[in-house]
């Protein structure tokens, strides 16, 4: 039987370190559908999202960065 940590009501569990993530930003005015190893992810026009740094190793993302459509920063 799994054991769960007790939390106060309304308290979010925070077990990730923000320092270990990067921000990926869509610089275009169109939505981009990313085909990631974990599945499809839609990055909406002008929006940004926090992801793990290995996103920069995905060939599709590398192409988008080279074309200037997406930027990745810490």
Number of domains in the chain: 1
What pLDDT is recorded for position 19? 76
**Residue 37: strand pairing partners:** none
| DSSP string of 36-50, one letter each residue | ETTEEEEE-TT-EEE
Say if 14 falls within a structural domain.
no
The domain containing residue 45 runs over which residues?
A: 24-73
Say if 55 falls within a structural domain.
yes
Pairing of strands 22-26, 70-73: antiparallel
Q: What is the pLDDT of residues 7-29, one digit of tens each?
A: 566 665 556 676 789 999 999 99
Say if 32 falls within a structural domain.
yes
Say if 51 falls within a structural domain.
yes
Say if 39 falls within a structural domain.
yes
What pLDDT is recorded for position 59? 96
Confidence of residue 50 (pLDDT cuts 50, 70, 90): very high
Say if 1 falls within a structural domain.
no
pTM: 0.74
Confidence of residue 62 (pLDDT cuts 50, 70, 90): very high
CA distances from 38 to 51, 59, 60 (A): 12, 14, 14
Say if 8 falls within a structural domain.
no
Say if 15 falls within a structural domain.
no
């Amino acid at each position: 039987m799994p054991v769960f940590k007790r939390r106060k009501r309304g308290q979010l569990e925070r077990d990730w370190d923000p320092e270990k993530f990067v921000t990926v930003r869509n610089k275009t005015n169109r939505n981009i559908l990313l085909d990631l190893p974990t599945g499809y992810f839609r990055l909406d026009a002008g929006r940004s999202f926090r992801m793990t740094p290995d996103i920069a190793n995905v060939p599709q993302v590398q192409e988008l960065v080279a074309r200037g459509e997406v930027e990745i920063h810490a």
